[in-house]
Amino acid sequence: MSRPTDSPQFEAPSPELIARFTEIVGPAYALIDATAQAPFLKEWRDRYVGRTPLVLRPGSVEEISRILALANEARIGIVPQAGNTGLVGGQIPYEDGRDIVLSVARLNKIRHVDPLGQSMIAEAGATLDSVQQAAEEAGRLFPLSLAAEGSCQIGGNLATNAGGVNVLAYGNARALVLGLEVVLADGRVWSSLKTLKKDNTGYDLKDLFIGSEGTLGIITAAALKLFARPAEKATAFAALEDLDQVLELFKRAEAVAGSHLTAFEFICKTGVEIGVRHVEGVRSPFAEIPQWSVLIEISAHEADGRAGETLEQLLGDAIEAGIVVDAAIAQSLQQAKDFWRLREEMSDAQKHEGGSIKHDVSVAPSAMPEFIRRANEVVGKLCPGARPVPFGHFGDGNVHYNISQPVGMDKAAYLARWEEIAAAVHALVVEMQGSISAEHGIGRMKREELAHLKSAVEMEMMRAIKSALDPRGILNPGKVV
């Protein structure tokens, strides 16, 4: 995929400029060797493989400030990168090899934890699991949770407004941020790491940078919200034969559990079969894999058994009503972890089935059954034999509508149809008042589509913000807008 013609067309840095950038971080943290650069240039699904003259690994906010000041002066494109787990190519430079990659991975400290104030200040390169662990050690919870939490970094999570499995109860990444520290395109540092719950003093600038995918500034640290840790969790898998029954079960779960319903995930039969087939130790809790498996979690702040009682009552009533055909309630912490592992291994397991065309979309939960049925029909007509593998976060309307290649089809030939199939699926999403990106972002993959799907007024506002904060367009050029 070549660089868009309507994005800034910078030249690659000269040897003299490379030397100046290297001087800022030191030779050990300025990578020019192809082998050393390789981990920073490839998306994990192999859809994007970029080139760069230089990978910079600064170790401080001051170094990032100097890098951006120089890049802005010299008109050099900078591609910010955190854990390189993004799925839309936003963190990967273009193949023409002109842009410098800037990794925030060395800024990985937990600067401060305040259990009483229920807040934490973490640097952008801290992995999500290290942030979770720091909160746990303080007797608190940082609820952002997703499959890549061992390698994704909090700066990338915020830059993409990540979602994950706890959005139902706690919201997206945006809802978990109190303040930010950001280096702007010209090298100036905006630091607003206040941990106030209330601050009604003008525009809320942090929300410009959350979800901007590194196109407006580079997030270097964040003040994060912490929460009381649940004292009890009850986890179960339910077996259902129809999507309308999944929707009915969700309605009942919300009615009886309310805010204590912390997860309501769903997986299609094909997805469970693929997981069982390819991931060691993963198995279905049911003797016969149902059409739909639903993972439910109910949490409580008192260890009085009420979470388990509520879950048992919910499932018992649903079985009696003919909505659920079978259910398995985790009897131990390990069994609950095993249940979650089946859900979390969905994306990786599909690699073993050949090519997979992936969609991260959202519709209203009430529209989920209709969307999946209609999408299956669309895909079946476009590519007979293709195998839809929908799964995801039913409770917040986010479906990972992945499609594994037909058995026996050439992988490259199948993936060559990505744009055609994605366009058809996204057209349906838009028709149903949904979003073509629920939690992964826009990056390179969906940039052109975004311009067609957003209104002219929306695109004009977004470009005006970009122009105001990055007038020379050096930050992540050719991404998002």
Straight-line distance from the first to the last Cα atom of the chain, in angstroms, rounded to the nearest whole number? 16
Residue pair 308/260 in contact by the 8 Å Cβ criterion: no
The residues facing 140 across adjacent strands are 228
56/39 Cα distance (integer angstroms): 13
The pTM (predicted TM-score) of the whole model is: 0.93
Using DSSP's 3-state secondary structure scheme, residue 179 falls into strand
Angle, helix 306-320 to helix 243-257, in steps of 10 degrees: 140
* CA-wise closest residue to 149 among 127, 175, 133, 126: 127
180/193 Cα distance (integer angstroms): 5
315/330 Cα distance (integer angstroms): 13
What is residue 354's predicted lDDT score, i.e. its pLDDT? 95
Res 1 pLDDT > 70 = no
Alpha carbon of residue 388 to chain centroid: 21
Transcribe 184-228 into DSSP letters.
Answer: -TTS-EEEE----S---SS--THHHHTTSTTSS-EEEEEEEE-EE
Domains of the chain, earliest start first = 110-228 (3.30.465.10), 232-347 (3.30.70.2190), 354-439 (3.30.70.2740)
For residue 23 the two structure tokens come to 């001087």
Per-residue model confidence as pLDDT tens digits over 55-65: 999 999 999 99
pLDDT band (50, 70, 90) for residue 45: confident
Output DSSP code: residue 367. G
What is residue 2's predicted lDDT score, i.e. its pLDDT? 83
Res 469 pLDDT > 90 = yes
Element (H, E) at 134: helix 128-137
Strands 360-362 and 218-225: unpaired
258/371 Cα distance (integer angstroms): 25
- Give me the amino acid identity at 122: A
Using DSSP's 3-state secondary structure scheme, residue 61 falls into helix
* CA-wise closest residue to 360 among 300, 422, 316: 422
Residue pair 257/169 in contact by the 8 Å Cβ criterion: no
Res 353 pLDDT > 70 = yes
70/199 Cα distance (integer angstroms): 34
Angle, helix 15-25 to helix 61-74, in steps of 10 degrees: 170
Per-residue model confidence as pLDDT tens digits over 269-303: 999 999 999 999 999 999 999 999 999 999 999 98
Count of CA atoms in the C-beta half-sphere (13 A) of 251: 11
461/86 Cα distance (integer angstroms): 25
* CA-wise closest residue to 359 among 76, 350, 452, 367: 350
SS3 content of the chain, % helix, strand, coil (to 5): 40, 20, 40
Per-residue model confidence as pLDDT tens digits over 220-264: 999 999 999 999 999 999 999 999 999 999 999 999 999 999 999
Strands 100-103 and 55-56: parallel
257/56 Cα distance (integer angstroms): 48
Per-residue model confidence as pLDDT tens digits over 108-151: 999 999 999 999 999 999 999 999 999 999 999 999 999 899 99
